[in-house]
A and B are shown apart, each in its own frame.
Chain A
Amino acid sequence: EVQLVESGGGLVQPGGSLRLSCAVSGFTFSSYWMHWVRQAPGKGLVWVSRINSDGSSTSYADSVKGRFTISRDNAKNTLYLQMNSLRVEDTAVYHCARDPHYYDSSGDRHWYFDLWGRGTLVTVSS
């Protein structure tokens, strides 16, 4: 079955750390860019970070730059998000998402998110 399953969320104190994982199955993980997207309780979707297919290039939203690190292990079919110096405002459900990231023969971009996980809840509170 083609799926993404996040894990690693939980309750952490401000200033603490947490590592999220996203286990993928049913497709060739190493062919896709991957992203983390978060959703605060009752709020909308916010892009957090992306990594290219071989892990050599990453990008981050300004709100997490310098605190979060995205990585991947293509041999283990797993995406990670290391979150340090956590703040109350980082409280959210964190989804991983798949991005085919290619140009087709017409020159069209396929840079959207065609598969998502259900997410894992991170709560930052004292």
Chain B
Amino acid sequence: DIQMTQSPSTLSASVGDRVTITCRASQSISSWLAWYQQKPGKAPNLLIFKASSLESGVPSRFSGSGSGTEFTLTISSLQPDDFATYYCQQYNSYWTFGGGTKVEIK
């Protein structure tokens, strides 16, 4: 089974900050990685697929990069609506999620 490890688990930041979240896979997953945003009590929302492709309707301040086993999600300038929990997910072999990164207000 492929394990996904996210870091950090919690991140404190201010509006306007550049934020980076890391996701590591236990084996190569090529570029078959997605990122999701989830707010409390709400459904997760797809942000990025194929490691770096922005889902339609997602603001351009979100970007993804990486391949193989190491990936990053970057928010170029954090906005008030971005305080949420972010999950990576591999879809190379079945589907596995990272443990999540909570982005909170500093």
* Min CB gap A53→B, angstroms: 16
Q: In the bound complex, do residue B95 and residue A35 qualify as a contact, i.e. CB atoms below 8 Å apart?
A: yes
Q: Give the number of residues in B that approach A within 8 Å (Cβ atoms).
A: 23
Given A95-B44, A112-B89, A112-B91, the answer on whether A44 and B99 have CB atoms closer than 8 Å is yes
* Residues in A neighbouring B36, C-beta threshold 8 A: 45, 113
A1-B94 Cα distance, complex, nearest whole Å: 29
Q: In the bound complex, do residue B32 and residue A109 qualify as a contact, i.e. CB atoms below 8 Å apart?
A: yes
Interface range on chain A: under 10, 10 to 19, 20 to 34, or 35 or more?
20 to 34
A14-B80 Cα distance, complex, nearest whole Å: 42
Chain A binding surface, main DSSP class = strand
Q: In the bound complex, do residue B49 and residue A110 qualify as a contact, i.e. CB atoms below 8 Å apart?
A: yes
* Min CB gap B10→A, angstroms: 13
* Residues in A neighbouring B32, C-beta threshold 8 A: 109, 111
Which A residues lie at the B interface, using CB under 8 A?
Answer: 4, 35, 37, 44-47, 50, 59, 95, 97, 108-119
Would you list 7 pairs from A and B whose C-beta atoms are within 8 A, ordered by A residue?
A: A4-B43, A44-B99, A45-B97, A47-B97, A113-B36, A114-B49, A115-B46
